[in-house]
């Protein structure tokens, strides 16, 4: 059950903006015992992955997000090769520890593909220890194995990465363990081969205006008592007026269709990102909907999509885009 208008355990009097916190929805994070905000904060954007970062503005965005009720924050060593964790750590030092849950990842690190992935026990332990230092915390709430589809095989994930995280959990350095990937069939395989050993599963770009494939796997994840973290409703920037970064891996046809949608939104004085966010958070089942926000303006836009919904004009534009979903390449 979710709760609206009730103050969560993470509420800190004198820090939070109570009127916003009371409007946020808090949902059980699977079987962890935590209740997380329906909207959560992704911080890949606190790095050079998303253009030059204004560090002060990024820190202010984190502070604003938490003050307004977001209590789940996600990062990873790969995001800027530690830059995201470093900037997030600076922000977290200004926020009471009881006000948030923080999640990071292991196994994906460098930009050079030859050195990008390392699922070994040794690197996993080193990574968690480094994340603790950069984030400035004594423990991490959730550590996820990042993009397991790139592992040489699932055996190394299940025989080295996962047992190391379980050992670190026993040492009190983390509380819960998760897994992430883009292809969802490998997530299902990992969960089947390690029943009961994962607490969360993160899927990204799988519940958007042009991809609804999470629906196919959601019943399996929920039957296995996993907290589903649904990430990147903006499809890593594709579904925004500003458009994606040059490195975005989408096909050119998909990029062209999204550019067309963004242009239509601009002509109508509407932000495509808000429409994408509104659509994204309608799916029942996930514990939280994770979105990157590196500015206070983006925090405001995304939270407004949740708190206030769409204006009549925005709803009209979204209906038009949905009518054209076949041309958007929706599966």
Q: Tell me the β-bridge partners of 230.
A: 203, 289
- Which of 286, 297, 319, 315 has its CA nearest to residue 38? 286
Backbone angles phi and psi of 295, in degrees to 5: -135, 160
- Whether residue 212 contacts residue 190, with contact meaning beta carbons closer than 8 Å, is answered with no
In which region does residue 82 sit, left (phi positive, over 0), alpha (psi from -120 to 50) or beta (all else)?
Answer: left
The answer to whether residues 298 and 68 touch, using CB atoms and an 8 Å cutoff, is no
Across the beta sheet with 35-37, the strand order is 3-4, 25-28, 35-37
Q: How many Å from the N-terminal Cα to the C-terminal Cα in the chain?
A: 30
Contact 203, 177 (CB under 8 A): no
| Of 1, 54, 56, the residue nearest 28 (C-alpha) | 1
Residues in contact with 316: Cβ distance below 8 Å, sequence separation at least 6, in sequence order = none
**Three-class secondary structure of residue 35 per DSSP:** strand
101 is catalytic: no
Nearest Cα neighbor of 204 from 74, 87, 314, 300 is 74
Cα(89)–Cα(95) distance, integer angstroms: 10
Catalytic residue among 79, 100, 109, 204: 79
Question: Residue 206 in contact with residue 180, Cβ under 8 Å?
Answer: no
The sign one gets for the Cα dihedral 292, 296, 302, 306 is positive
Of the candidates 263, 201, 238, 221, the one whose C-alpha atom is nearest the C-alpha of residue 330 is 238
Beta-strand ranges (E) seen in 191-275 are 200-204, 227-231
Catalytic residue numbers, as ranges: 79
């Amino acid at each position: 059950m979710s709760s609206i208008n009730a103050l969560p355990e993470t509420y800190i009097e004198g820090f939070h903006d109570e009127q916003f916190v009371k409007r946020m929805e808090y949902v059980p994070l699977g079987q962890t015992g935590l209740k997380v905000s329906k909207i959560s904060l992704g911080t890949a954007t606190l790095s050079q992955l998303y253009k030059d970062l204004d560090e002060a503005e990024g820190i202010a965005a984190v502070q604003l997000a938490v003050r307004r009720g977001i209590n789940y924050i996600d990062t990873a060593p790969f995001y800027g090769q530690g830059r995201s964790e470093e900037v997030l750590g600076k922000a977290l030092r200004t926020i009471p520890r009881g006000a948030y849950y923080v999640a990071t990842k292991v196994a994906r690190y460098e930009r050079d593909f030859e050195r990008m992935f390392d699922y070994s026990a040794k690197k996993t332990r080193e990574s968690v220890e480094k994340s603790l230092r950069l984030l400035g915390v004594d423990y991490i709430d959730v550590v996820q194995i990042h993009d397991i589809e790139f592992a040489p095989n699932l055996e190394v994930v299940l025989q080295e990465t996962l047992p190391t995280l379980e050992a670190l959990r026993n040492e009190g350095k983390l509380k819960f363990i998760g897994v992430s990937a883009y292809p969802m069939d490998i997530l299902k395989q990992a969960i089947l081969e390690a029943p009961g050993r994962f607490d969360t599963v993160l899927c990204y770009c799988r519940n958007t205006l042009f991809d609804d494939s999470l629906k196919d796997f959601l019943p399996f994840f929920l039957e296995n008592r996993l907290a589903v973290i649904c990430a990147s409703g903006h499809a890593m920037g594709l579904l925004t007026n500003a458009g994606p970064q040059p490195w975005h891996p989408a096909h050119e046809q998909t990029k062209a269709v999204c550019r067309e949608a963004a242009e239509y939104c601009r002509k109508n004085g509407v932000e495509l990102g808000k429409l994408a966010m509104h659509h994204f958070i309608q799916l029942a089942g996930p514990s939280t909907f994770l979105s990157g926000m590196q500015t206070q303006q983006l925090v405001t836009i995304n939270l407004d999509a949740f708190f206030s919904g769409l204006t009549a004009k925005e709803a009209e534009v979204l209906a038009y885009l949905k009518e054209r979903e076949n041309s958007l390449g929706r599966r």
